[in-house]
Amino acid sequence: MPTNDIIDFTDLCILMFSDVQWITSTLYIMPPFVPNQFMLDKHDDKGKFDWEIYAWCLRDAIIKTGNFEACDQ
C-alpha cells in the first residue's frame, strides 16, 4: 500500500498512474525446508560446510519451482 509520509500525495499519484499496465505475479508457498543428513551426504560436493550445502539445495529448489534460470555471477 503506497503511503504519503515520504513523498507528497500529488507526486505519489503522478508516479502511481504514470504506469498503467497490469503487472501480475505468482506467489509460490513452499513447505519449510529443513536440512537433514541425507541431503548433506548426497550433495557433499556442493560445499565444504553444512550451510553451503543447505544454501545450494535451497537455491536449487527455488530455481526449479519458479522455472528460473540459474546464474552464478
Neighbour count for residue 67 (Cβ, 10 Å): 7
What's residue 25's pLDDT? 84
pTM for this prediction? 0.63
Closest CA to 58 of 38, 41, 34: 34
Dihedral (C-alpha) 42, 48, 49, 54: value to the nearest 10 degrees? -40
What's residue 1's pLDDT? 60
Residues of the chain with pLDDT under 70: 1-4
